[in-house]
Chain A
Amino acid sequence: MKTTYREAIRAAIRDALQRDDRVFLMGEDVGAYGGCFAVSLGLFEEFGPERIRDTPLSESGFVGAGIGAALGGMRPIVEIMTVNFSLLALDQIVNNAATLLHMSGGQFNVPLVIRMTTGAGRQLGAQHSHSLEGWYAHIPGLRILAAATLEDARGMLWTALQDPDPVLIFEHGTLYNMPGELDDDAGPVDITAAAIRRPGTDVSLITYGGTLPAVLDAAGQLSAEGVDAEVLDLRVLRPLDEAAVLATVARTHRAVVVDEGWRSGSLSAEISARITEASFYDLDAPVGRVCSAEIPLPYAKSQELAALPSVERIVRAAREAVGRSG
């Protein structure tokens, strides 16, 4: 069937609401408004205000309420409009959701799913464009997912709801309109492993989420130059599928990490470190990185584009890794 990333997520939410009456969706403007990015459009009419629950502007309050409801036996899906606003709920996510199980000696698990939009590319300025998922990937106790394909948009939610612990799903804002084909019987997918989106032999391009399309473009361009790139989509940012990362490097001996987050103290730094720790002697070149400029993201289109990983920068980094720079 023809669908979009947005519709695939909506289908996943609808499916979950139908399959399990403990599931409900809660967040700002998920109901009467139809969702700030129209993901939940129509669900309010279909399931009513109890299960498609509009909240006040109280990120800390309603994320905390989601944690409580999960402790109380529900299976809440909490939507935070964007990762930028999730900072107002950081205390609840980091100090409660992520810690309660361990702190309570294994007594209280938190089966909560939090979905949020991340990323730049829409000229929304510095308070609506940052990619902070790497921060969450720092936190033990959380599982962090990034959906980059229609299959994952459709399939990650249900599996996440079966997880006994808190799961955060990141949806990149530029992907919502992405069209494509999805199997009519597409359903739950694995949420533990990375996936190879394009096999190759010369260099590994390791990425996730919103930069996957650019990385695939870059791989296409490289192949025209005779460089056969393998593209690995991390899918799971925590716990990292380290085996998949090391396996692709073992095949190609060269790696470039592409991450829309900032380079300093980032997920890309973590991946690079793991490769050098475990596969140093497999490498034929230093690990390359393509990240966002270390600035609060600007509004102006030209400057925003200049700040973000581009196909051109990815191609250049890959060429450097295979020794064809210049």
Chain B
Amino acid sequence: MTGKPAHPDEAQAGLARHLLHQMLRVRRLEEKCVELYSEAKIRGFLHVYIGEEAVAAGVLETLEAEDAVVATYREHGHALLRGVPAGAILAEMYGYVQGCCRGRGGSMHLFDAGTRFFGGNAIVAGGLPLAVGLALADKMAGRARVTVCFFGEGAVAEGEFHESLNLAALWQLPVLFCCENNLYAMGTALGRSESQTDIALKAAGYEVAAWAVDGMDALAVHEAARRAVDAVRSGGGPHFLELRTYRFRAHSMFDPERYREKTEVAHWQERDPINLLRQALETAGHLTEAQWAGLQSDADTEVAEAVAFAEAGTPEPPEDLARFVYSEVHSEAHSERGPE
């Protein structure tokens, strides 16, 4: 758990640099969100992913465009790396109609049909049954797609977790469960909520192939996810990854963090996934100063452009308030689809 990532070899260096860039993009976006929150540009609940970037970066890299992703309220990074533009994400948090959900969802409810990103669910464990259903549809239609479902270890206590694992295994559905074990559900440490804290073992109890991975090591996450996704796609039934990670920031902007020691946070920060991969690349001679500077300025530019996009946004017109409570059957979205 405390090991250093292996030095990427020449062949892997390109992938490693790409994952480093992906993590940086998320980090910069999240840092900006925190800043915008304190400026009151973003309101409501805001949960950032800082410290956990290796998980989304490693897993999402293994997916195809037609695969599906289900995530939680801590999903800005997942949305971004799945391909939702940073501007649409930020505009959503500003509550503007240019946001990926017209400003109706906010930080916790990012959805994007184009990238098959199914939210943004703020009911703990609420996304698991959805993912099972998406996978069931694929299986019944004979599509070789994978549905990836992200959730925190807090969800393991919910009935929906157990019901979902059981169904996925019983019906051998093409779903990859990714448990982001950051050790705390708000202020409740895993050991204070579970009699058995080995989560992969629990999943195995449902006959779901499961293994635990160092969630601070982007390459290790990627390798594990690649194996799991390949197995799921080729009909191997549901798989489960327990990604051992840590959130460096408070649960949300309202959390005074009374439940953990600063020293514990500092200890985990020594294994910052971005620093770890950067160092490994540098040591192996695969990342020059100029390359690192380039990755950073790319990420900074992307975020700056996203902020500008969001700043220029406008609220949804009041007369649209009641739209989409029911489907607008005659809308373009429907007619575009044509006869099926």
Contact = CB atoms under 8 A, between A and B. Distances in A.
Contact of B109 (A28, A127, A307): A127
Nearest to B152: A57
Given A58-B158, A125-B109, A125-B122, A293 B44 contact: no
B129 to A, nearest CB: 12
A32 B104 contact: no
A302 B95 contact: yes
B38 to A, nearest CB: 16
Nearest to B190: A56
A54 interface: yes
B6 interface: no
A57 B125 contact: yes
A274 interface: no
B8 to A, nearest CB: 37
B193 A54 contact: yes
A295 to B, nearest CB: 5
Interface in B123-139: 123-126
A36 interface: yes
B188 A32 contact: yes
B192 A54 contact: yes
B154 A57 contact: yes
A128 interface: yes
B290 interface: no
A88 interface: yes
B59 interface: no
Contacts of A32: 187-188, 192, 258-259
B236 interface: no
Contacts of A22: none
Interface in B44-77: 44-45
Interface in A217-268: none
Interface string B89-130: 000000110000001111011000000000001111110000
Contacts of B193: 54-57
A28 B193 CA distance: 10
B1 interface: no
A53 to B, nearest CB: 11
A299 B157 contact: no
A29 B65 CA distance: 39
B186 A33 contact: yes
* B104, B108, B154 pick with most chain A CB within 10 angstroms: B104
Nearest to A128: B122
A128 B126 CA distance: 13
Nearest to B119: A127
A321 B123 CA distance: 41
B318 interface: yes
Contacts of B96: 300
B185 A298 contact: no
B321 A295 contact: yes
Interface string B154-197: 11011110000000000000000000000001111000111000
B106 A299 contact: yes
21 contacts: A28-B186, A32-B258, A33-B255, A54-B192, A55-B193, A56-B154, A127-B121, A127-B123, A127-B126, A128-B45, A293-B321, A296-B325, A298-B103, A299-B44, A299-B95, A300-B103, A300-B316, A303-B95, A303-B315, A303-B318, A306-B321
Given A33-B186, A126-B109, A300-B104, 20 more contacts: A28-B188, A29-B187, A29-B188, A32-B187, A54-B188, A56-B194, A57-B155, A57-B185, A57-B193, A58-B157, A60-B159, A61-B157, A85-B124, A88-B160, A125-B44, A125-B108, A126-B104, A294-B322, A298-B104, A299-B103
